[in-house]
Amino acid sequence: MNNVCAYSKADLLALKSKLELEYAAYQARNLKLDMSRGKPASTQLDLSNDILTSTLTTYTTDDKTDTRNYGGLVGITEARKLFSDLLDIPVEKIIVGGNSSLNMMYDNMIRHMLFGTHGCTPWSKLDKVRFLCPAPGYDRHFAICEELGIEMINVPMTSNGPDMDFVEQACAADDSIKGIWCVPLYSNPQGICYSDETVDRLAKMKAAPDFRIFWDNAYGVHHIFAERKLKDIFKACEEAGNPNRPYYFFSTSKITFPGAGIALLATSTDNLEEVKKHMGIQTIGYDKINQLRTVNFLKNAENVRAHMRKQAKELKPKFNVVLETLDRELTGSGLAEWEKPDGGYFVAVDTLDGCAKATVKLAKEAGVTMTGAGATFPYKKDPRDRNIRIAPTYPTYEELKVAIELFCLCVKLAGVNKLLETAE
């Protein structure tokens, strides 16, 4: 954002008039569009409709488990193997669970709160528990911490992941920091991929013995423009002598059907024994028939990748129209900046400081719903009031095209208004 200073007051006033005219024209169109929802479009879901119509010709797994009956806490072998191949995680580290990885994260937090891990004090018995929250980030991670009374510390994001100088210093100095939320590939909302160095530093850094990385690889195979790779967090942590540090989460929610897929929790075998001990009190087992259905549809890792290329084909035009419009309307304006994601579900735009709420409000008043400003930060408080999450997947291409154009206009109008406050 270099050339903000280039505007004179007269320039700004002229620009404001022009933008307001354009804005009024949008308002007259009575739009009703939504770029807030991080969920797949119907066309993406259609790619998995075979799940609905395929019949199960057997209910028995390769190891002779009757999936119709009780048992099988860690999930059916076929599902564990599929995830193992797809994500390059040893089978013995994997539990395949129910329909929601968020639920597995929440339950994992609860276990640390109530029972602690490997003899450490349960977090609920400590005076203070703090979590590192790379921000902007995923609102539902932050909501878990807020609900549990865990104090959240904003960690600045860089284009290589969380600011590791900040993270290392914080953890070295403060034993009450018990974890970090990470979406390491195509982060929500910026689409940032963690560099190898970031992974290594997370694995190696000094931290409390029960410091845990919640590695939510939600978009692990959700490539769009390029297939970015992620360094193996398990190997890195094992090599660093911290094998119990990471909990890895994944699901098929944005591969097949959100909420009707299967989720994964993977961790060291020591941690897994502990998880199983508590999970075995919570449930007799997850839905093995849905696991079988999902595996029958997805078949194998290569087929999942092929399926995700179909998803990418659906998403490319939508991400392109967002990115091209941002580029055309805002590059060089000095009023916004953003990362170009190679995959995932979002584009995040930083407006001028203090302009996010105003931008979202302007968009709303012209009929376009954005994710609430601040939603991507702990406690819903964006300290610079500048980050806005764009979710291009759910609207149609035509809706999105209009919505993103209006959005850019709102960014400019809010920016110009802000600049006018101090212009001389």
| Residues of the shown chain interacting with its own copies in the complex, contacts defined by CB under 8 A | 39-40, 42, 45, 48-49, 51-56, 59, 66-72, 98-100, 102-103, 106-107, 110, 113-115, 124, 140, 143-144, 147-148, 253, 257-260, 278, 281-290
Nearer to its own copies, 134 or 261 (CB): 261
| Residue 391 beta carbon to its own copies: minimum distance, rounded to whole angstroms | 12
- Residue pair 247/267 in contact (Cβ under 8 Å)? The answer is yes
Q: Report phi then psi at 407, rounded to 5.
A: -55, -45
| Residue 42 beta carbon to its own copies: minimum distance, rounded to whole angstroms | 7
| Residue 48 beta carbon to its own copies: minimum distance, rounded to whole angstroms | 8
∠ Cα 380 385 386 (to 5°): 115
Closest CA to 326 of 401, 227, 420: 401
| Residue 116 beta carbon to its own copies: minimum distance, rounded to whole angstroms | 13
| Residue 392 beta carbon to its own copies: minimum distance, rounded to whole angstroms | 16
| Residue 194 beta carbon to its own copies: minimum distance, rounded to whole angstroms | 25
What is the Cα–Cα distance from 140 to 417, expressed in whole angstroms? Answer: 32
| Residue 275 beta carbon to its own copies: minimum distance, rounded to whole angstroms | 13
Rg, the chain, Cα only: 23
Nearer to its own copies, 59 or 239 (CB): 59
Nearer to its own copies, 25 or 56 (CB): 56
Nearer to its own copies, 272 or 408 (CB): 272
Residue 320 structure tokens: 């392109």
Nearer to its own copies, 73 or 240 (CB): 73
Residue 340 structure tokens: 């170009």
Nearer to its own copies, 67 or 387 (CB): 67
HSE value, Cβ hemisphere, 13 Å, CA-based, for 170:
23
Q: How many CB atoms lie within 10 A of CB 149?
A: 11
Nearer to its own copies, 16 or 140 (CB): 140
Closest CA to 360 of 371, 376, 375, 348: 371
Nearer to its own copies, 188 or 253 (CB): 253
In this structure, what is the dihedral angle of CA atoms 232, 233, 234, 239, given to the nearest 10 degrees? 90
| Residue 59 beta carbon to its own copies: minimum distance, rounded to whole angstroms | 6
Nearer to its own copies, 107 or 385 (CB): 107
| Residue 80 beta carbon to its own copies: minimum distance, rounded to whole angstroms | 16
